[in-house]
Structure 1
Amino acid sequence: MAFDLSVNLEYGFTEAGDKIEDRIAAAAAAGFRKVELFLLKGRDLAAIKAALETHGVELVSTVADYVTQLVDPATHEGFLEVFRDAASAAKSLGCSNVVVTSGRGVPWLKRPVQLGIFADALRKLVPIAEELDVMILLESANTRFDHPGVLCSTTEDSVVVADMVAHPRVKVLYDLYHSVVEGEDPEAALSAAMHQVVHVQVADAPGRGEPGSGKIDWPGALAMFERVGYKGTVGLELQPTKPSAEAFAYIRGLCA
């Protein structure tokens, strides 16, 4: 069950302080060579780039935006610039994966219609993704606890939209934590999604802590990733319940 790991520095290695460059240094000192971030807007990109290069660390993914309600066509034009700015910042740091989320759904449109509008927004982003040489990763998030009202709440939602767009620049990020909290059968959900999945993230449930802090069977989860044919990086997007290096020791041992 050997998998490369990346750690999300919004939550991990916060002991190093508020500066992302210091968290990069701390992650590298702990042996991590891949990291992830949320929004890059307003951050010191030069300092982050220098830290990545100095410590030999790769930025695996960032997020374009969290708030835009892409089920509303009136948001699409403005989101083109939001995405361009986010993708340009990511590429300046050597990162080619930009996560795009659906935003909140609406009660007055049928679900297939809303998913179709989201797909329309993504089609408009594809030329920018091609120009800047980035991937658009769709991520579903659970509505039961963390993100009430979000449109894409199941793994299937993101896969359906990616299938609608049917472009190699639009793929799916599968998050085991969100899948479990939403009540999915993870193996069934991921198996059905594997034709679109290019990245996986994890956290334990309940609590969104590190593997071993909740009730997920982690040897079983990693074996499941192998059974469905996933060979990529496993992202630790979680809130550690203890110091980061200690919190990540269990999953690192399983993935070694």
Structure 2
Amino acid sequence: MSFELSVNLEYMFHEAGERLEDRMAAAAAAGFTKVEIFTTGNRDVPSLKAALGASGCQLISVVTDPRHRLIERDTHEAFREMFRIAAQEAVELGCRNLVVPSGPAVPYMRRPMQLEIVAEAMASLLPIAEELDVTILLEPVNTRHDHPGVLFSMTEDAVKVAEMVNSPRVRLLYDMYHSITEGEDPTVILPAVAQWLGHVQIADAPGRGEPGSAKVDWPAMLRLIASVGYTGPIGIECSPTRPTAEALAYIQQLCA
């Protein structure tokens, strides 16, 4: 059982400083050749591209702007414009995965209707995704601790939208930390959504520390991920409890 690992530079390798370029070099020195970041907005894309080349790292995913209120149709045009820019910058960096958040839910509209409107927004991105050859990753995140008020709080929310859009360009980003924190059981959820998996991310729970810092049985969870047929990289999106390279040594060993 082996997996390649990618590391989110927003959370890790802070020892190297504030610049993502320097964190990228530190990640490469620690043996990681795949990295992830949040948005490219207001960032020096040519500098990031040069750093990727110098470090030998591959950018696995970037996140689009999460502030769009997608349950309101009059936001969809601006959402598409934002997505095109984000996708163009991702492609410039050699990245083909765009994480697209759901935006907030509202209390005055039935949940199925909200999901339907968000599915319309996602479907409207398909021509851009086809043109630029990128994949849209829908990510559920927990509302209990990290992201109160978001629409995609349960894995089923994102899967329902993916089903409505019904395109190979729209896949699920399953973050095990968010799933567990929201009260889901990965042994039940992962087999049920395996056909939609586009990417998997992990952190320990509770606390979102590095794997091995809390209560999750990581050998068992890695076997579970392998058992559903997932063979892509596993993204680590944690807040290390000690120096990053040291903190990640355990999961590196397990995945080697």
TM-score (norm 1): 0.98
CA distance in 2 between partners of 1:17 and 1:58 (Å): 20
Deviations 1:10-49 (A, max 9, x none): 0111111111111111111111000000011111111111
Residue 55 of structure 1 deviates from its aligned partner by: 1.6
Q: Which amino acid aligns with 2:117?
A: I
- Percent identity, please: 59
Aligned equivalents of 2:2, 2:153: Cα separation in 1: 29
- Mapped partners of 1:212, 1:9: distance in 2: 19
Q: Residue 137 of structure 2: SS of its match in structure 1?
A: strand
1:142 maps to what in 2?
142
Deviates more, 1:185-194 or 1:1-10: 185-194
Counterpart position of 1:73 = 73
> Any idea what SS the aligned residue of 1:70 has?
coil
Q: Is the 8 A contact 1:5 1:32 kept in 2?
A: yes
Q: Distance in 2 between matches of 1:110 and 1:190?
A: 26
Please say if residues 155 and 190 of structure 1, whose CA atoms lie closer than 8 Å, have aligned partners that are also in contact.
no
**Other-structure match for 1:110:** 110
Aligned to 1:17: 17
CA distance in 1, matches of 2:69, 2:226: 35
| 1:1-256 to 2 correspondences below 5 Å | 1-256=1-256
> CA–CA distance in 1 between the matches of 2:51 and 2:58?
10
* Deviation of 1:212 (Å): 1.0
TM-score (norm 2): 0.98
- Paired residues in the alignment total 256
Letter in 2 for 1:184: E
In structure 1, list runs of 5 or more residues that go unmatched: none
Q: How far did 1:177 drift?
A: 0.2
Residue 107 of structure 1: CA displacement? 0.9
1:142 offset after TM fit, Å?
A: 0.6
Equivalent position SS for 2:86: helix
Matches of 1:223 and 1:125, distance apart in 2:
34
Q: Give 1:165 shift.
A: 0.1
Q: In structure 1, what is the Cα distance between the partners aligned to 2:166 and 2:41? A: 29
Q: What is the deviation of 1:91?
A: 0.5
RMSD: 0.8
CA deviation vs aligned residue, 1:178-227 (integer Å, no higher than 9, x gap): 00000001121111111111100000011111001111111111011112
Q: Which runs of 4+ in 1 moved over 2 A?
A: none
